[in-house]
Each structure stands twice: as C-alpha cells, then as structure tokens.
Structure 1
C-alpha cells in the first residue's frame, strides 16, 4: 500500500518507530498499596509499592478494552491485559501517545467475546513519522488543547454543582414562602401542587429506525440521544431519517417541547432540554421523548429544570429498568412523573433566577464542544502531515525580525502562550504568516489583548464564529471584538520610520486622517454586531440575529492604533489632548480659547463641539457615535496603541470609553485599563468624567 509521505517525514514499519510489549501479571492479592499506578486495559485499577516500567510511558489495551491509550510521566506497572511501549526508538513519548490515540488500534482487534489485540499484527503496519522537532511541536499543540478542555470541564463541573444547589433550594422552598405542607414527595410550599405529568402534558414517543417499505417517503432531520445532552441540545451532527409524509406531524417536534432521553448509561437517563425550534421540521427518535406541557399550567423551562434536577433524576432512576451500568424508562413512567407545580408567576420567577447559571453552563459547554472538535481536526491535520507546524510561525518570525532577536523571541513566546490558552481560530497560522500586514497585526493585537485579559484572571473563550473573545463576569457573558485599523489615507511620509542616525523630521500629525480610521473601525465592528446591507443586495445578519451574542450581553470594541503611525508617541492622544477613543465616540474637537478683546487675555478654554470630520471625498463622517441610538448595542470602546511593544513587556496606555446609551452597560473597573471615561447624563447635556487607575 502506497502512503503519501510529507516532505521531511519518514515512512517506516510500525515496530521501527514504536515497539509494543505485553504487560506483566500482578494478582490483586499480591498488590501492596503504593505510589505507582497499576494499569489494566480500561485504565488505572489500583496502585503498587514498586513499578515494573520506568516513565515516561504509553499504555494501551491488549485484552478487553481495545483502543484506549494512556500516557504516564512517571513509573508504573502495566498488567498483562495491556501493551506498553517498550522502545520509542528515539521518538518523543508524548508524540507517540498522540499518534496511538489517532491510529485507531481498535480496528486490529479480534475475537467476539473478549476482544484481543495482537501486537505482531500491528507491528507490520506501514506508518509515517515526522522528525523529532516536529513531533515535539505537535505534542505541545495537542497538549495545550487538552489543558484547555480539562480547564473548561472543571469550570462546567463547578458551575453545575452551584446550579444544582440553587435549583434544589428553589424547587423545594420556592421564593419567599413561610407556610409549607406535607405531600407524598415531602414538604412543599402551601400553594404548590403535585400533579401527575400526564394530567398537564402530552408525552409523545418517537420514530423507530429501520422501517422498510415506507410509503410516500421523505428524508428529514431527527434528534438522537447523542443530540440531547443534559441542559442543552447539540446540533453539531444531525442525522436524516426516511419517514412517510403522513407521519411528519405525528413525530415532529414543536417549540416548547421538553426533550427527555429514554436511557442508556445512568447519566443519560431522563436528561434533556427545551426544544427551541432550531430546525424545522425536525423529528425525534423513539429513544427520545417529547413532553408537550399545557403552558397555561406548566412552563416548558420549569419542567425541564424539574426533570433535570436531583429530584427528577432520582424519580426516573427509581422506576427504571436496570442492568449492569444501564437503565431505561418507558412512556408510562414519564406520564406518572409527579410534577411539582407552583403558580405560573412563581415558575417564571424561579426560571429567571436559575437562567443566568444555566446560560453560564451552556456557554462553557459550547466552548468545550468547540475545543473537542478543534482537537479532532488538529489530530487529523497534524498527525498526517496535512498541516505542518514546525517552524511555520517561528520561521516566519525569524525572517521578519532577523535583525531584532529580542522582538522575535517575544513574539514566539506570546504565540506559544496563545496556543496553550486554546484561543487560536482555524485560520490563525495561515493568515498570521501570510505576509500581509493587515492579518499580521490583527492577530498580533488579538494575542496582546488576550495576554492582557488573561493577566487579569479572566477565563477567555474563543470560537471561529462570533466575537474574538468572551468571558463570564458575575454570571454575565461579556464579549470583546478586537480590531487593528490599517493606515489607509495616511501619507507614506508620516508612516515612514526614521532610520538610525537620520536627522529628526518636522511634520504635522494627521489627527483627522487617523481619527477617520478609528470611526471606520468602530462602525465596522458595530455592524458585525447588528448586521449591515450587502453590497450585492440583501442583508448580512450580525451576531445578534445569529444569536451568537445575546441582547443583554455587553459588547466591547477594542481598537489598537499601532499601525497608524511610525511610533506610539502620537497614537494615543488626539488634537484635543484626549485619547482618540474619546474623539471617535463623542463630538469633542480641538481646544478653543476665549480671549477678551479689551485685555487680549485668555479668559476661558473649552473643547470645541465637532460632530463631523471630512473624509477624502469631502463627505461628513460623524464623530458622535455614542450619542447615536444606532450604536446602543456597543457597550464601550477600548483604545490603545499597543502593538509590538506590548508583546515585549511594555505597558502602553489603555483607555475605556463607556457608551451612555448602551442597552447592555459594561461594569466599570473590570478590564484593567489606565483611564475610563463615563458620560453622565445631566439632563440637557452629558458631562464626561474620567476615572484613573494605577496599573503598575
């Protein structure tokens, strides 16, 4: 079989790169508790007081569980149901671990009762291996994504723990009750009822797969158990099913249906969420129930919270049919579910209190799925050589900054940290190294901004679709959209960097041309949020219409002006001596002096009112965006000249200008800036107040 070998890689037999060896017998009665893990085919099964193999090591299953691969930094004892890597042949152990994860050893398993893996069969397989430096880089990248996955899982687990505690209190005590009554399920508020679910909801069973000879067939999407997660619906991978057109209404989901899974592992029993009509029409499999509540008596979100609570899970588990590690329920048991039913107004109040925590979990779960998909795609690309990583960014930086080693190393370090944070989008490497300054500085600013926000302790998230960064602050999602405007309209003479030894040049600062780049950047990112007309006709929806950003979630535009001049000296404050960010958001112009004609003395000075500036076509460009209701979706404008200097440890000034008309105001003091500008409404005018911080 011919294998395409990427340049610099080597085609070898499996056992020329990795030699597997059967593990060692160690009966339970001979084990003495110690510091060294004992490994079976399904994972760690205990410890022992001495190891059999020194680390680092890689272990996979030989008999029983086939395909699971484990990595150990230290010494360990692999049992005889495993295969361990006896010889890495000079290859990087961490890379071998990733290679075996992707190699799908399970396809070589034989036997029907107890699957077995024969190492001698695997050893003859042809494989391709990259050189050692590239192995290490691939392992580092995949490890950074794993770190981000584990960190996100920990946040989800902690948030869910808090969520469960809040929900338990709300579903047993309610809000503000002092009088309770005893019922068959325990004490509940006096005005609440316990009603069988079938009395206040319709339980709809789903469509069975595999039916033949379907009359008048049509293919439609349908929900499987894999799509119905605990508290959210995962539509990443939808399957199609053939159904008779006459049966569409019978098996279709409706907005407000509460989805419940029939069973599987214990954790899958009765899990679910509310169907929001994301796809229409959409059917559901027979292993997923659709519960349609009478919304005059029971709200869908309240029912979903109730069935997903500890109370709901205990009920379904208590009446389920159970085998080893598996459980299932039927429609009769769902119909008999004793629903706790408060008055509708209180149901809504409970939902509102619970909703912020649920949104936090949903946000982290979406980020987790993004990271898991990213890891899968990276493993396919990196471990086949389809995408080359060794030196792609490093080589580019070495060429770009060949005469400035300090900057080169700073940017390499920043790039590695950014990768470890799991924030790179799928096109990062190709665009960052494209040679186009627009792409280079756009991603440089994203990395610098991410570093600043991470230093504040913020847990950043990023995805290909949506603003550059998002994070939770006191249960509220906050979005950051970064932009580094280019120097269009600025003269080459202004942008030219003086050479060493060259005499200083006297020239005026093109304040208005620079300000035009700020206003254009703010408008561009506002339209990313709200949408804009397409040049070819029609409408390009924004983050709000796509429901990427919620209507009540703060949205900050973060501008770096590092490309608008040769040095950072004139890139922060404009002609008014206030930051460009202020002049881009409010009609603040140059300082005016009031002179007494008699004495010729200055008696007053003030900022001029400048609502427009002229562009190169002599058209008026507004400079009062934050007094325009069209910009009410933008919460604040962050501005800084941060660029290469910030990447290398410098601390250029950062300002934040709040929008007084914002639908979703940004809390003050959370983004680690030097100055914040707040426009206070004084009735007939706004008064701009400056708050200073010490970032040292």
Structure 2
C-alpha cells in the first residue's frame, strides 16, 4: 500500500517556471483556487504520471498541466486509462476501439525568428486602449509545427516500436495557452484552419441592394513563412501546407482536439471547452458516437470542398 500514498504535487525550492511558483506560493486570491484545482487533479493523476512529471512541472508548467488535465478529464468521464512509458500520454478504449491521445502545447516560437508570434501589448489602467490584430497565420503555423512534430517524429517512432498499432485511433490534443493572442479562437476555429485548406472569412455584397448575398471562407492550401533576416531579394518564401486531414501522409491521424483551459481558467465542467475535429479520411477513424462535453466538428465532403458543422 506504500506506493499508493499521495505525494505532494508542488515541491519546495526554486523553479524555473514563474506560473508554477505563483500558484504554489500564493496565500490568497484566485490563485489559491488554482492550486487546489491542481492538487485535486493530482489525486487522480499521480499514479499515471511518469517519474519526471513533478520535476518537469516546475520547468514547463502549462504543458504538463495540460497533460494532467486531459488525462483526468478522461478518468472522470468514466474511462479506464492507460499511460504507457514511453508512449502517447493517455489511451482509452471506446466501443472496442483503442484511442490514443498525445498532448502538446505550442509556444510562440523561437526568439528572433520572423515567424514568432508576438506578445500581446498590455495596457495599464488609465492608458489609451491599443487595437491589436491577432496574427492568425503565425498562430496556425505554430499549430502545424506541433502537429508535424508529434505525428512525424513521436507517433512514427511508437508505431515502429509497436507501442501503438495502425489499427488504433490517434488524436493530437492541442492547448495553445502559451500563445497570448490565442486566448480567444479565430474564425474559422484554428484547429479547422490546420485541419483543412480553409482561410479567412469573406462576404460578397450586392452594391445596388446594399445587402450581403454570400458568405464563406477563403481557400488556403498553404501559409508562406516570413522571409529570414538574411534573405535576399527574389528568394522564394517557404510554404507550409495546411489541411493535414486532406494529406495522405496524415491518414493515421484520427483527429485533432483543442482546449484553452489552464490552471487558473477552467470554468464549467471538465472538458466542456474541448473542440474535437475527427479526420474524415482517417485509416482508423474515431467512432461516430465518441465525443466530449464541448464542441464536435462533424464534417462531410461536398461538391466544392467540405461542410463542417459544430455540434
């Protein structure tokens, strides 16, 4: 029974991540609730965590918190979870179908790179407001980078070693809270901008009638990266393909999940903000009845593309 004793989640001493220190050391205010929330999750998660979890939580709090939250969401939904070491973060079985989830938390990108997502400018009380446009394409590039890394490197390695099977469903679960501008979603939702070749919204107006006659979303097959600092005039810009669901190389990707929950912002029931987008072309598709409390993006192929309905 000794190995079932609950260990404290937060450890004493210095920690590189300020969010970890702020939540651990707070004595009053809303962060007290954040600490209680984390400790509550830890009750369920401790015996599924890897040996490095508590130490890594001190270094990259948001990333490891997301892994814990995702796993506990599945536990509290009634699933028996498995967390192989090494392997995907968490797996369940739904109606006979094994489903693996791998959590990832894209950041702003490397400092000094042209495609880094800028920080949001903060405005002090009494200062004039500042209008800032969300750099949508740069944010979607961060999603695509995380998806590529998890799928082409980690998933491919697990498949090769037999940790997962090509008959298993595989979902990449994205939490972009480290990107300031992604506290609120875009239009269309950014996981759909990564999943499909879809871009910004448009509207067609009848000038004579003064009425909008058609609305939709632009086709976008790729995003051009910003030129490097040492780029020369005439150099071709690097293109990053969007629409991972429409690429044969990603047939083993069964779906994308997105949540913006963090330790201090988790209103409502567990998984109530989850966005789940199943891949309509997956070789191991998610079962039709599988969903979370949040939004399910159900898609079907139509004559000129895809129709996606939020349910």
1:511 equivalent in structure 2: 136
Q: Which residue of 2 aligns with 1:582?
A: 192
Cross-structure match for 1:536: none
Are residue 553 (structure 1) and residue 175 (structure 2) matched? Answer: no
* Residues in 2 aligned to 1:394 and 1:688: alpha-carbon distance in whole angstroms: 52
Q: 1:413 to 1:656 in 2, by over 3 A?
A: closer
Residues 499 and 400 (structure 1), Cα distance of their counterparts in 2 relative to 1, 3 Å cut = farther
Distance 2:10 2:75 in 1: 26
Question: How many angstroms apart in 1 are the aligned matches of 2:224 and 2:13?
Answer: 42
Which structure has more relative contact order (CA 8 Å, sep 6+)? It is 2
1:408-432 Cα distance to aligned partner (Å, 9 max, x none): 4433542453354312111111111
Shift of 1:548: 0.7
Q: 1:593 to 1:398 in 2, by over 3 A?
A: closer
- What's the offset of the Cα at 1:670? 2.8
2:253 corresponds in structure 1 to 634
Report the counterpart of residue 663 of structure 1 in structure 2.
Answer: 283
Tell me the equivalent position of 2:34: 410
Distance 1:448 1:509 in 2: 27
CA contact 2:44–2:72 (8 Å) conserved in 1? no
The equivalent residue for 2:21 is: 399
- What is the CA deviation profile of residues 140-174 of structure 1, one whole-angstrom value per residue up to 9, with x for unaligned ones? xx3258xxxxxxxxxxxxxxxxxxxxxxxxxxxxx
1:338-374 C-alpha deviation (Å, 9 max, x unpaired) = xxxxxxxxxxxxxxxxxxxxxxxxxxxxxxxxxxxxx
Alpha-carbon distance change, 469 to 498 in structure 1, aligned in 2, over 3 angstroms: farther
CA change 1:411–1:632 in 2 (3 A) is farther
Contact map agreement 2:41 2:69 (CA 8 A) in 1: no
Task: Name 1:143's counterpart in structure 2.
Answer: 4
8 Å Cα contact 2:144/2:242 also seen in 1: yes
Q: Which runs of 5+ in 2 are unaligned?
A: 110-115, 228-236
**Deviation string, structure 1 residues 207-249 (Cα, Å, up to 9, x no partner):** xxxxxxxxxxxxxxxxxxxxxxxxxxxxxxxxxxxxxxxxxxx
Residue 613 of structure 1: aligned partner: 223
| Residue 646 of structure 1: how far off its partner (Å) | 4.3
1:669–1:504 distance in 2 versus 1, CA, 3 Å: farther
Match of 2:306 in 1: 687
Tell me by how many angstroms 1:628 deviates: 0.3
Whole-Å Cα distance in 1 between the matches of residues 12 and 107 of structure 2? Answer: 22
TM-score by length of 1: 0.38
2:298 alignment partner in structure 1: 678
Give matches, 1:379-458, under 5 Å.
392=11, 399-401=21-23, 402=25, 405-415=29-39, 417-421=41-45, 422-434=47-59, 439-458=60-79
Say whether 1:491 aligns with 2:118.
Answer: yes
Question: Which of residues 516, 521, 524 is equivalent to 2:146?
Answer: 521
In the aligned structure 2, how far is the partner of 1:632 from the partner of 1:567? 27
1:547 offset after TM fit, Å? Answer: 0.8
The TM-score, its normalising length taken from structure 2, stands at 0.81
- Partner Cα separation in structure 1 for residue 291 and residue 197 of structure 2: 25
**Alignment CA distance shift 1:567-1:551 (3 Å):** closer
Query: Residue in 2 aligned with 1:625?
Result: 244
What is the deviation of 1:688?
2.1
Secondary structure of 2:63's counterpart equals: helix
Q: Residue 10 of structure 2 contacts residue 54 of structure 2 at CA under 8 Å; is this kept in 1?
A: no
Deviation at 1:609, TM superposition (A): 0.6
CA, structure 1 residues 416+595, in 2 after alignment: closer, same or farther (shift >3 Å)?
Answer: closer
Query: Mapping of 1:107-126 within 5 angstroms?
Result: none
Displacement of 1:557 in angstroms is 0.6
Partner secondary structure for residue 158 of structure 2: coil
Tell me: CA distance 1:627–1:689, structure 2 relative to 1, closer, same or farther (3 Å): same
Pairwise CA RMSD of aligned residues? 2.9
> Larger Rg: 1 or 2?
1
Q: CA deviation at 1:553?
A: 0.5
Is the CA contact 2:278–2:298 (under 8 Å) kept in the aligned structure 1?
yes
Gaps of 5+ in 1: 1-70, 72-97, 99-141, 146-381, 383-388, 532-541
State the secondary structure of the residue aligned to 1:448: helix
CA contact (8 A) 2:117 2:138 kept: yes
Taking a change above 3 Å as real, the CA distance of residues 566 and 685 of structure 1, as seen in their structure-2 partners, is closer
CA displacement at 1:603 relative to structure 2: 2.2
Q: Give the alignment of 1:71-470 within 5 angstroms.
A: 98=2, 142-144=3-5, 392=11, 399-401=21-23, 402=25, 405-415=29-39, 417-421=41-45, 422-434=47-59, 439-470=60-91
Q: Is the 8 A contact 1:469 1:481 kept in 2?
A: yes
User: Which whole-Å deviations, capped at 9, do the CAs of 1:431-483 have from their partners, x for residues lacking one?
Assistant: 1113xxxx211101112212322221112221320000011222322100000
Cα distance in 2 for partners of 1:524, 1:641 equals 20
Please say if residues 426 and 464 of structure 1, whose CA atoms lie closer than 8 Å, have aligned partners that are also in contact: no
